Chains A and B, each alone.
Chain A
């Protein structure tokens, strides 16, 4: 049995290599790493609101260094027009008047009061810091988690399914019906190849983007979650390849669907927007498992039980479809 499994495993590795599957994974790894290190980390900065003061009489001498002086009302208008989040303070008539462009109601109130507070800064105690991550660490973990999830659930999945479909087209599945090896080994070797390649991808993506020290600390938990997601997606890919006749037609549409299906999950999991129905979204729980692994948050045992149940169920369905497919041969 061990020998048969090893032979199948070697054959699958060769097939993936010739199908440029590994090359594609490395390409996406380079693309994602460049995006995180050269783009995302730089974009994800949000400085405090700029405050512009027009004070021709010079009444405000104790103002904070964060206040920028403008020489005329025209300059202030121009500054606010180009920086709609900025706040203008007009002290030309003695009393200060706040000028700002309309945004969300609560935010506008805070912007106005914050700008006024900078005119007479006082030493309030610094906020107590309770967490361990810096803003950059958080941004790196968040985007790496999103990219890993997207790669496994959308891009990698398509690769898996395309390769399997090609094999089906070549009649390899039916050939297994007459081979003297246990039938389930075919499925297990496929799962093992994709699992190992996804785990290797997760290790590299995490270490390159989260950082060596931080990445190594979260790696065991991340690999466990990657294994869960990878097994699920590989099984779904196998199922699609076994059931659908013309899979290539489905590939690109799937990517578009995945983008639209993943958007609410990313919004709910990464921002303060929480949809009521999101707990019914199957991607949400898997994504939260991965995210909790990156941030070192405890994961409920119920989630593991559900994930294990889902993998077993998918395996049984795939096994049934596989036996039906090889049954056609004989």
Chain B
């Protein structure tokens, strides 16, 4: 307990720790209060037409599928079609029908839309008479803010890793690591003290971030707490690994950057493209993936998936300490490796 007090004292002296602790909370506040970013236009079709080329009825018909922008000259229209950040489909009158123009670098879905547009125009009356049944899908992402919020929460959980890694590297640089070697302390006590510091701060930061971002029922809050605690514990352990493996601050910062990018990129890419099968199993090797997946499931009210993810995180919680003990305490026994 006394050792833990010293660990906490050393961490609190570090301004960096306070900064990392507050950063996700500030971003969560900003995301929550600045309003959602409208990302619904991402998958929409955008049309570009020439002024006075199409009839008002045709423009109204095009607007059923997406926004229409009128350009004064052919050059302006061509520039808009070729603009790499958009997928504008150029539409021109062709007698009673339409003809389309694309840049050629669009995704297949937009190419196909441009290719079939004249057919849709010719059959617009048939289409209007057809019955369309639109089903509600409760767990579909309404906008990308739903991805940003869990991503911020993942960053908050990750902070435990940073706390520990920076703390151990500072100890190495200041020579405290050598002092630790001769202290009457077992490796398990050392691991416990280090992990508890990162775990406490990571969890606290995540809990505050979650309180700001989510409105959950009490039942779901229990699961959310479990997810936060489990993933903060794993992140703190990974920080322990990072600190141990880093020779100096420069290398440590590089390791932390890579881990952070992997932690954020894997779940976001998985959520955007929807992986399945073996790839999904492999993605779960990155602890942030089950944490992210569990938070997304909880926000959609899917308790079953969240319990499954908490289970995966529990496996991480057993495997990482076991690896640490195997790797480092064995090395210490064999060759007097410094803790």
| Chain B residue nearest in CB terms to A155 | B257
Q: What's the nearest-Cβ distance from chain A to residue B277, in Å? A: 12
For window 53-95 of chain B, which residues contact chain A by CB distance below 8 Å?
64-66, 78, 81-82, 84-87, 89-90, 94
Residue B6 CB within 8 A of the other chain: no
When each residue 103-133 of chain B gets 1 if its CB lies under 8 Å from chain A and 0 otherwise, what string results? Answer: 1111111011111111110111011001111
A110 to B112 Cα, complex, angstroms: 12
Is there contact, CB below 8 Å, between B82 and A130? yes
Residue B258 CB within 8 A of the other chain: yes
State whether A125 and B118 are in contact (beta carbons under 8 Å apart), knowing that A101-B137, A253-B16 are contacts in the complex. yes
Q: B65 contacts which chain A residues (CB < 8 A)?
A: 106, 109-110, 113
Q: A107 contacts which chain B residues (CB < 8 A)?
A: 43-45, 66
Residue B155 CB within 8 A of the other chain: yes
Q: A24 contacts which chain B residues (CB < 8 A)?
A: 250, 254
Is there contact, CB below 8 Å, between B134 and A108? yes
Q: B127 contacts which chain A residues (CB < 8 A)?
A: 112-113, 116-117
State whether A99 and B135 are in contact (beta carbons under 8 Å apart), knowing that A252-B256, A253-B20 are contacts in the complex. yes
Residue A142 CB within 8 A of the other chain: yes
A35 to B16 Cα, complex, angstroms: 30
Residue A38 CB within 8 A of the other chain: no
Q: B119 contacts which chain A residues (CB < 8 A)?
A: 117, 121-122, 124
Is there contact, CB below 8 Å, between B108 and A47? yes
Q: What's the nearest-Cβ distance from chain A to residue B98, in Å? A: 9
Is there contact, CB below 8 Å, between B108 and A104? no
Q: What's the nearest-Cβ distance from chain B to residue A66, in Å? A: 9
| Residue in B87, B99, B123 whose CB lies within 8 Å of A116 | B123
Is there contact, CB below 8 Å, between B20 and A106? no
Q: What's the nearest-Cβ distance from chain B to residue A289, in Å? A: 14
| Chain B residue nearest in CB terms to A102 | B134
Residue A200 CB within 8 A of the other chain: no
Residue A84 CB within 8 A of the other chain: yes
Q: Which of A45, A46, A113, A142 has the most CB of B within 10 A?
A: A113
Is there contact, CB below 8 Å, between B253 and A127? no
| Chain B residue nearest in CB terms to A125 | B99
Q: B102 contacts which chain A residues (CB < 8 A)?
A: 127-131
Is there contact, CB below 8 Å, between B107 and A44? yes
Residue A270 CB within 8 A of the other chain: yes
| Residue in A48, A100, A127 whose CB lies within 8 Å of B134 | A100
Q: Which of A31, A101, A130, A155 has the most CB of B within 10 A?
A: A130
A203 to B282 Cα, complex, angstroms: 33
Is there contact, CB below 8 Å, between B81 and A130? yes
A97 to B133 Cα, complex, angstroms: 7
A268 to B122 Cα, complex, angstroms: 35
Q: What's the nearest-Cβ distance from chain B to residue A318, in Å? A: 23
Is there contact, CB below 8 Å, between B105 and A102? no
Q: A99 contacts which chain B residues (CB < 8 A)?
A: 133, 135
| Residue in A19, A110, A249, A256 whose CB lies within 8 Å of B250 | A19
State whether A130 and B103 are in contact (beta carbons under 8 Å apart), knowing that A95-B131, A101-B137 are contacts in the complex. yes
For window 4-56 of chain B, which residues contact chain A by CB distance below 8 Å?
14-16, 19-20, 23, 27, 37-46
Q: What's the nearest-Cβ distance from chain B to residue A123, in Å? A: 9
Q: What's the nearest-Cβ distance from chain B to residue A36, in Å? A: 13
A97 to B258 Cα, complex, angstroms: 50
Is there contact, CB below 8 Å, between A98 and B132? yes
Is there contact, CB below 8 Å, between B37 and A249? no
A20 to B251 Cα, complex, angstroms: 8
A113 to B260 Cα, complex, angstroms: 43
Q: What's the nearest-Cβ distance from chain B to residue A121, in Å? A: 7
Residue A251 CB within 8 A of the other chain: yes
For window 272-299 of chain B, which residues contact chain A by CB distance below 8 Å?
272-273
When each residue 252-277 of chain B gets 1 if its CB lies under 8 Å from chain A and 0 otherwise, what string results? Answer: 01101110100010000100110000
Residue B100 CB within 8 A of the other chain: yes
Residue B162 CB within 8 A of the other chain: yes
State whether A253 and B131 are in contact (beta carbons under 8 Å apart), knowing that A110-B65, A248-B249 are contacts in the complex. no
A271 to B42 Cα, complex, angstroms: 7
Q: What's the nearest-Cβ distance from chain A to residue B84, in Å? A: 5
Is there contact, CB below 8 Å, between A138 and B64? no
A45 to B84 Cα, complex, angstroms: 16
Q: What's the nearest-Cβ distance from chain A to residue B239, in Å? A: 12
Is there contact, CB below 8 Å, between B104 and A104? no
A109 to B264 Cα, complex, angstroms: 34
Is there contact, CB below 8 Å, between A162 and B253? yes
Is there contact, CB below 8 Å, between B130 and A110? no
Residue A135 CB within 8 A of the other chain: yes
Q: B42 contacts which chain A residues (CB < 8 A)?
A: 271-273
Residue B140 CB within 8 A of the other chain: yes
Is there contact, CB below 8 Å, between A102 and B20? no
| Residue in B86, B120, B135, B166 whose CB lies within 8 Å of A272 | B86
Q: What's the nearest-Cβ distance from chain A to residue B257, in Å? A: 6
When each residue 129-149 of chain B gets 1 if its CB lies under 8 Å from chain A and 0 otherwise, what string results? Answer: 011111111001000000000
A-B residue pairs in contact (CB < 8 Å), sample of 15? A31-B258, A46-B108, A98-B131, A100-B135, A101-B134, A102-B134, A102-B135, A103-B140, A110-B64, A113-B65, A113-B120, A116-B127, A122-B122, A129-B103, A248-B253
Known contacts A113-B123, A129-B101; 20 further A-B pairs (Cβ under 8 A): A20-B250, A31-B258, A49-B109, A95-B131, A98-B132, A99-B133, A101-B134, A101-B135, A106-B64, A107-B66, A114-B112, A116-B127, A128-B101, A130-B78, A134-B104, A249-B14, A255-B257, A271-B42, A271-B85, A272-B41
Interface residues of B, Cβ cutoff 8 Å to A: 14-16, 19-20, 23, 27, 37-46, 64-66, 78, 81-82, 84-87, 89-90, 94, 97, 99-109, 111-120, 122-124, 126-127, 130-137, 140, 155, 162, 166, 249-251, 253-254, 256-258, 260, 264, 269, 272-273
The 4 closest A-B pairs by CB, nearest first: A131-B103, A138-B105, A124-B118, A129-B104
Interface residues of A, Cβ cutoff 8 Å to B: 19-20, 24, 27, 31, 39, 43-49, 80, 84, 95-104, 106-110, 112-114, 116-117, 120-122, 124-135, 137-138, 141-142, 155, 158, 162, 246, 248-249, 251-253, 255-257, 259-260, 267-273, 291, 295
